[in-house]
A and B are shown apart, each in its own frame.
Chain A
Amino acid sequence: MRSGALRLGAFAVPAGFLLLFFAYPVLTLIATAFAGEGSLGQAWSALGTGRVAGVIGFTLWQALLSTLLTVLVALPGAWVLGRFRFRGRALIEALSVVAFVMPTVVVATAIGATLADDGPLAWLLPAGSDRGLGAILAAHVYFNLAVVLRMVGSYWSQLDRQVEDAAAVLGASPGRTFWTVTLPRLRPAILAAGSIVFLFTFTSFGVVLLLAGPGQATMEVEIQRQALFLFNVPAAAALSVLQIIAVVAILVAQTGLSRRIAAGGGSVASRRRPASRGEGVAVTVFVVAAFAVFAGPPVMVGVRALATADGWGWGNFTALAATDSTTVLSIAPAEAVGNSLLYAVLAALIAVFVGGLMSLALARRGTSVWEGVWLLPLGVSAVTLGLGILLAFDSPPLDWRGSLFMVPVAQALVAIPFVVRALVPALRAISPQILEAAALLGASPRQVLRHVELPLVGRAGLVALGFSLAVSLGEFGATVFVARGDRPTVPVAIYRLLGTPGSSNQGQAMALAAVLIVLTAAVVLATDRWRLPGERHV
């Protein structure tokens, strides 16, 4: 009955974790929104119907614009990545992933500085345009390019090139071929990638918090404002419930779209070297543009971090080690780096352990109902999780306010989706015959797990670990609720420094951001290199 115990463990551990740290906080949110003196109706009137409608409207509007813009910008790149072999593709793919996991606070800061009136790209947003919305869109495109580039690009590479040839032979011009043949075939991939981008931008927090113009707020930002600044917790909870409902709806739609793309994938990769001059130019333009786009914000941060009151230098970095009474932090900023590393390592370990067991359960069962139940926590936004945890664990017997492990738990909840999305496909790719063969050769279920399944998903597990580390390092939405004032993480410290005027605050924020960029990039590039050559499509 060892197999029974194994299966029970693989089921009970993640189920228990999610019940305690996800279901209970969410139920607490719902109870808070509906119960007692803060009934939903009162919360509503406190918010003001006009304000709520405005917030929902802006949330939808910016998410829709962000999604459309990201797809439009990424589509030519997906064509180059999907159809051509060229030098530098591995680096560009790695950079796009680094961009994807970059801390929101850091990228928002960099893009805000780049597009500001005195920034180098201020001309991109003409006078009179909505600078807040423009900067938000730019940041969202930056983060989500990788999603569309990778999903649509790899789908594109599997589309039989001869079908386009057939259209050309039948008289269709390249433009006509794209509209009538290529685009309809790409549709499932574009919809699936677009729905993921929509989900991410719908629940965007750090970017909007830092870049929104006056009066602009997404639901995430409004929840945080109501809870932490106006102390109207029932209103925040009511908005959170609304947010959860919306996210679940998006998630259901998105799961359906992703399933179709899995069924539609072909087999042969059809990448080749650019054949004509036009194709060569297109590839070169893409490589140059991709480097410029992905490297832009980090370079901007680096430049600002090295600019001190008395010329270029390391002054902002050396100042990080000192407890500076002129900054808002009560600690030396460098301590935040230590906090972040400790929290992130703990969070990544929890995420890989719980997420790994979840993936085992998901990969084995794989029925759609179970998948829906398991995936539920995956989409719920960071701010909602943070607020739920804050409310759920603030009174006996579960009074864990200020407990050190709340931050890693919150970050792990945010990271688990990435673990599951990395591991489930790897587990499902193992053919059942291999497992049956192992069993026929006398391996117990435990031995099959240890000697067959784990080695086969080991690489994916490493990638999951790296992703969890990077996501936890940059996590802001949930952490800002549960981090103790005297133990801020780097993103929280950057946010506090930025919110306070004074050049030493701004300079140190940039220096901290630079440190965080280096840490995040190192983690992602390290896991990327650990992958087998065969795993990376060439």
Chain B
Amino acid sequence: MSDVAVRGAVVRYGQRTALDGVDLDVGSGEMVAILGPSGCGKSTLLRAIAGLVPLDAGSVRIDGEDMAGVPTHRRRVGLMFADHALFPHLDVAGNVGFGLRIAGWDRQRLNRRVGEMLELVGLADRADSAVQELSRGQQQRVALARTLAPEPRLVMLDEPMSSLDRVLRRELNRTVSAALEQAGATALLVTHDRDEAFAMSGRVGVMRSGRIEQIDTAERLLATPANGWVADFLADPSA
């Protein structure tokens, strides 16, 4: 379990500023959601913490260690991508075990861990399936198992439910919450769905145009929104 501290993070893509001075703290074992309309920079925030995009200013610290200059593959964070990004040339077990193989786990321990993870997401019988054969919901669970398997210091979820229908969402929300809780993971979730953010997290940050406008618990956000935009956005999540 680890804590994350982002200070004054700025990311520019050419002329466009995707992150415009973001501060964020996620405590050890805490689950925080970032809520905002599409294009507000919330996915960029996750990619910056993972080291997939370089910061133009500011810092990211994990367990107090400055991540500047630490490449993605040495940060030991997990990121579940919006469209899963499963390895198309590997089967289900191969996908879930990838991070463990990289970390050099021996075969026996690796197989046991993969089995546990598949059990956790309810896919124990699909270990040998090709990932293309799975439904969207099943692919999503493989992505979750793959992310959690190496026990990352921070689990990040980028629009985890965006590709699923309502019924599946409710069911998977429960799976994800349970899995994260069981793993005791520090987690950061990004979504444009208000209900999803409120359901899964303790604190929710509301993001707009590269800035976090307000971050607090769901009740306090609804009771005392920091400004008119936040109030409107929370009132009408489809806006």
Residues of A participating in the B interface, judged by any CB pair closer than 8 Å: 160, 162-163, 165-174, 176-177, 180-181, 184-185, 273, 275-276
Contact = CB atoms under 8 A, between A and B. Distances in A.
B72 A185 contact: no
Contacts of B86: 163, 166
7 contacts: A165-B79, A167-B87, A169-B72, A170-B73, A170-B102, A171-B74, A273-B14
B235 interface: no
Contacts, number: 77
A166 B79 contact: yes
Contact of B87 (A176, A181, A273): A181
A73 to B, nearest CB: 25
A170 B87 CA distance: 12
Given A162-B81, A173-B73, A176-B102, A168 B89 contact: no
Contact of A169 (B53, B54, B78, B88): B78
A275 B18 CA distance: 15
B146 interface: yes
List 4 tightest A-B contacts by C-beta distance, closest first. A170-B99, A162-B85, A168-B72, A166-B85
A273 B14 CA distance: 9
A172 B81 contact: no
B50 interface: yes
Contact of B85 (A165, A177, A180): A165
Interface in B71-103: 71-79, 81, 83, 85-89, 98-99, 102-103
Interface residues of B, number: 31
Contact of A163 (B47, B73, B85, B147): B85
A163 B81 CA distance: 9
Given A166-B81, A168-B72, A275 B53 contact: yes
Contacts of A273: 14
A181 B51 CA distance: 19
A184 B77 contact: no
A239 B169 CA distance: 67
User: What DSSP secondary structure best describes chain B's contact surface?
Assistant: loop
A176 B87 CA distance: 14
B150 interface: yes
A180 B51 CA distance: 20
B102 A172 contact: yes
Contacts of B73: 167-174, 176-177
Query: Which of B73, B79, B83, B147 is packed against the most chain A CB atoms within 10 Å?
Result: B73
Interface of B: 14, 47, 50-54, 71-79, 81, 83, 85-89, 98-99, 102-103, 146-147, 150, 152
A170 B83 CA distance: 16
B88 A185 contact: yes
B88 A171 contact: no
Given A170-B150, A185-B88, 10 more contacts: A167-B98, A169-B72, A169-B75, A169-B77, A169-B152, A170-B73, A170-B146, A171-B103, A173-B71, A181-B89
Contacts of A174: 71, 73
A171 B47 CA distance: 15
Query: Which of B50, B75, B102 is packed against the most chain A CB atoms within 10 Å?
Result: B102
Contacts of A163: 85-88
Query: Which of B71, B79, B150 is packed against the most chain A CB atoms within 10 Å?
Result: B79
B89 A171 contact: no
A388 B232 CA distance: 81
Nearest to B81: A162
B45 to A, nearest CB: 15
Contacts of B83: 160, 162
B99 A168 contact: no
Contacts of B87: 163, 166-167, 181
A160 B139 CA distance: 16
A165 B72 contact: yes
B81 A165 contact: yes
Nearest to A185: B89
B60 to A, nearest CB: 14
Nearest to B95: A166
Contacts of A166: 79, 81, 85-87, 146
Nearest to A183: B89
A171 B75 CA distance: 8
Contacts of B152: 169
A171 B52 contact: no
A177 B74 CA distance: 13
Query: Which of A162, A166, A167, A180 is packed against the most chain B CB atoms within 10 Å?
Result: A166
A171 B85 CA distance: 15
